[in-house]
Amino acid sequence: MRFADIGQQLRAYRLESGLRAEEIAARLGVSRAALYRYEKGEVIKLDTIRRLAEMLKISPLSLLGIGVEYFARPIAFQERLRQVEEQADQLLLVGGAFCYQTTTDAFDGAVAEAWTDAADSAPDRVAARSSADQGLGMLAARKRLHAARRPTIIAILGEAALRRFVTEGVCPGLPVSARTRARCIAAARAEVEALAGMIDSAPIGVQVGLGASIDPSGSFMLLRGRERAHVIGSPFTADTPPNGGMGVGSITAADEAVAAHQRVAEAAWRDAMKGAAAAARLRDMLKATG
């Protein structure tokens, strides 16, 4: 067994459960420090894995990294996604309006303002601010990880998703002030302009195409590492609030799932608009919605 992998999955599923580390440790009959050691990859007995799985309401196979992993809480999904990205040398994205790793500081700033604004008006402000800070920390960790590893990126973004993005802005649907919503829209428009510039400059290790027929409901990522690949499907984007959004994210390393998604991605890339034509299409979109 790969205890480091089990530990990572345990942390993600602990966040998914909504239980505090102290609660899980008490039910398990160990100290909180012992639980954290499990999460860091310390040897863990099969019986302990079984009891943890029962407590977290998942299959023991999920903690062992076998089968499909499911996450209904955005913050747990983001943590597990960070873990998978930590081993990835290639990121293949199909659908959606942006690839988080290539977004600018303006995007992160808008997300921070929107999440903080929404948290300040929540019934339990302290808890909401704590969740927002935790989520922002996870995003920052993903950006630092990308800067350190520099995996190759191939992204085929959806034109329909991009049109909604420039109209509704970052964190769409989140109840925020008019001032914050204006900043979110401005950040989204700046992001699309930056994306057009990236397509023009064609930086090493990043390829971007525009798919007119790709809708966000069918978006997915394929992350490839040296040892295995993972398919990630989720309604949760990077700007989804830590405790907001509704849906179920899934992660699997099953060979048949990887192969099927690879075929779809190859077809999407073949049919995508690329280069100067794609950059011009994005700039025309900004003009039409300005």
Would you state the pLDDT for residue 1?
Answer: 63
Distance of CA 95 to the CA centre of its chain: 13
**Which DSSP string do the residues of 136-161 spell out, in sequence order?**
HHHHHHHHHHHHHH--EEEEEEEHHH
Instruction: State how far the Cα of 147 lies from the Cα of 219, in Å rounded to an integer.
Output: 24
Would you state the pLDDT for residue 57?
Answer: 84
- Residues contacting residue 245 through CB under 8 Å, at least 6 positions apart: 74, 235, 236
What single-letter DSSP state applies at residue 73?
A: S
Instruction: State how far the Cα of 88 lies from the Cα of 205, in Å rounded to an integer.
Output: 14
HSE value, Cβ hemisphere, 13 Å, CA-based, for 18: 8
Would you state the pLDDT for residue 214?
Answer: 67
Q: Where does 109-245 show beta strands of DSSP type E?
A: 152-158, 206-211, 220-225, 229-233
From first to last of the 290 residues of the chain, give the pLDDT tens digit: 678 778 888 888 888 888 888 888 888 888 889 888 888 888 888 888 888 888 888 888 777 777 788 999 899 899 999 999 999 999 999 999 999 999 999 999 999 999 999 999 899 999 999 999 999 999 999 999 999 999 999 999 999 999 999 999 999 999 999 999 999 999 999 999 999 999 999 999 999 999 977 665 578 999 999 888 999 998 899 999 988 778 899 999 989 999 999 999 999 999 999 999 999 999 999 999 87
Instruction: State how far the Cα of 13 lies from the Cα of 176, in Å rounded to an integer.
Output: 30
Paired with 158 in beta bridges are: 211
Instruction: State how far the Cα of 149 lies from the Cα of 144, in Å rounded to an integer.
Output: 9
Could you give the domains of the chain?
A: 1-66 (1.10.260.40), 68-289 (3.30.870.10)
Instruction: State how far the Cα of 255 lies from the Cα of 50, in Å rounded to an integer.
Output: 25
In the block, tokens 């943590």 appear at: 79
- Residues contacting residue 195 through CB under 8 Å, at least 6 positions apart: 98, 102, 157, 208, 282
How many Å is the Cα radius of gyration of the chain? 20
Burial 90-103 (b: 16+ CB within 10 A, else e): ebbbbbbbbbbbbb
Identify whether the C-beta of residue 37 lies closer than 8 Å to the C-beta of residue 204.
no
Distance of CA 67 to the CA centre of its chain: 20
Burial 260-289 (b: 16+ CB within 10 A, else e): ebeeebeebbeebbeeeebbebbeebbeee
- Residues contacting residue 92 through CB under 8 Å, at least 6 positions apart: 153, 154, 155, 221, 222, 223, 224, 262, 265
Instruction: State how far the Cα of 260 lies from the Cα of 286, in Å rounded to an integer.
Output: 34
User: How far are the Cα atoms of 2, 67, 224, 254 from residue 257, in angstroms, in the given order?
Assistant: 22, 11, 13, 5
